[in-house]
Amino acid sequence: MFEPDGIAPDKEKIAALLADESRQEELFQQADSVRRRYVGDAVHLRGLIEFSNICRNNCMYCGIRCGNKQVCRYRMAEEEVVATACRAADMGFKTIVLQSGEDIYYTSDRMCRIIEAIKKRDVAVTLSIGEREYKEYKAFRDAGADRYLMRIETTDKDLYHRLDPGMSWQHRYECLLMIRELGYELGSGIMVGLPGQSIESIAADLLFLKDLRIDMAGIGPFIPHPQTPLAKEKGGTLELSLRTMAVMRLLLPDINIPATTAMESLHPDGRIKALRAGANVVMPNVTEGEYRKLYELYPGKAGADETPLHSRSIIGEKIKSIGRTIGTGYGSRRRTDVAARS
Ligand code: SAM
């Protein structure tokens, strides 16, 4: 193990920690105590709206890739997105996350109208809509968007280009730099257990995320989807995903780390396990009706049959049952490092 205030370990030491199943309980306990010390016991809830499953990309792992012709596609109208967000705000959510496939129907003007309407409520807005141009990121920010989430997925460029045909790792990285420069809170992350991904590569990913100075880290297992070219792959384990997340907490002790839905999809208490191993955020799905089932990135997605209220109350009870509280503010990152003091 290592202390967050000490010298960050090198890639080899991180890889050894990730590989060591025998000491994982010790790692989880340390990540949990660092989480308590740096970000406290509050769990911040973000209401997630999956507003379109239309995507121009063809990522090999993703159930909504454009090549999957079996998906029934949907796109929510502007007013519908805003109304869903307002209902989530009424339920007490202080952050609304807008996520979609890379659907360019939502032009800069459309997205800005949605963001401005939601920002009339007392909420932070997070976008997770993929790669756009600088002027679009700027327009969204000017319209009031607070945060942006875009996973780098892996820093192994060869693996990335094999899994994300037609996309450029360098371009995705440059988008992340633009987002950070525009003053968004920046979220990124990876999938764990991609075919051909080594432990050393995951260790390199964690150091990359640290160097990128992210404010939020989304780390989840890759879960093979039967309607994708990776259907027969093994997928990531909950344990390795939790160890990866726990090491992220030690490397960046004051950031926001969600207990991801993919973790809950592998185990009925996956999110609780994550909250006890360094996570401090949960993103209950507030998408309504049939749309929920149609945003199937991977099979067995936790909560697909629930209603927003049900999702909110189930996770609320679970959080209280482990002695944690539900955050009442926006739950923005509160920096404790040098950048915050200068
Ligand atoms: N289009 C946006 C983007 O690219 O950032 C956001 C939507 S994308 C579907 C959200 C995330 O889902 C991806 O970044 C990826 O990490 C995750 N994802 C996709 N397919 C998955 C799978 N089979 N298992 C686990 N996670 C998956």
Domains of the chain: 11-329 (3.20.20.70)
- Average pLDDT on 288-292 reads 92
- Average pLDDT on 56-63 reads 98
Say how many Å lie between the CA of residue 6 and the centre of ligand 1: 33
The model's pTM = 0.96
- Among protein residues, the one with the nearest Cα to ligand 1's atom 25 is 222
Residue 342: predicted pLDDT: 42
- Among protein residues, the one with the nearest Cα to ligand 1's atom 12 is 297
CA-based nearest residue to 17, from 198, 243, 201? 243
pLDDT band at 341 (very low <50, low <70, confident <90, very high): very low
Q: Report in angstroms the alpha-carbon separations of 93 from 288, 303, 310, 327, 334.
A: 15, 17, 14, 10, 19
Q: What is the pLDDT of residues 130-176, one digit of tens each?
A: 999 999 999 999 999 999 999 999 999 999 999 999 999 999 999 99
Q: What CA–CA distance (Å, rounded) separates 94 from 219?
A: 22
Residue 338, classified by CB atoms within 10 Å of its CB into exposed (0-12), middle (13-18) or buried (19+), is exposed
- Among protein residues, the one with the nearest Cα to ligand 1's atom 13 is 151
Is residue 114 within 8 Å of residue 159, measured between CB atoms? no
Q: What CA–CA distance (Å, rounded) separates 228 from 58?
A: 10
Q: What is the DSSP letter of 169?
A: H
Say how many Å lie between the CA of residue 187 and the centre of ligand 1: 13
Q: Which atom of ligand 1 is nearest to the CA of 297?
A: 20
- Average pLDDT on 44-60 reads 98
Q: What is the pLDDT of residues 72-84, one digit of tens each?
A: 999 999 999 999 9
Q: Is 130 in the pocket of ligand 1 (CB under 6 A)?
A: yes
Say how many Å lie between the CA of residue 172 and the centre of ligand 1: 14
The upper half-sphere exposure of residue 45, i.e. CA atoms within 13 Å in the direction of its Cβ, equals 27
| Strand, coil or helix: 314 | helix
Which residue among 151, 152, 194, 294 is best mutated to probe the pocket of ligand 1, counting the most ligand atoms within 8 A of its Cβ?
151
Angle at 307 between CA 303 and CA 308, to 5 degrees: 90
Q: What CA–CA distance (Å, rounded) separates 40 from 169?
A: 35
Query: What percent of the chain has a predicted confidence (pLDDT) above 90?
Result: 91
pLDDT band at 340 (very low <50, low <70, confident <90, very high): low
- Beta-carbon contacts of 72 under 8 Å, excluding residues fewer than 6 positions away, are 294
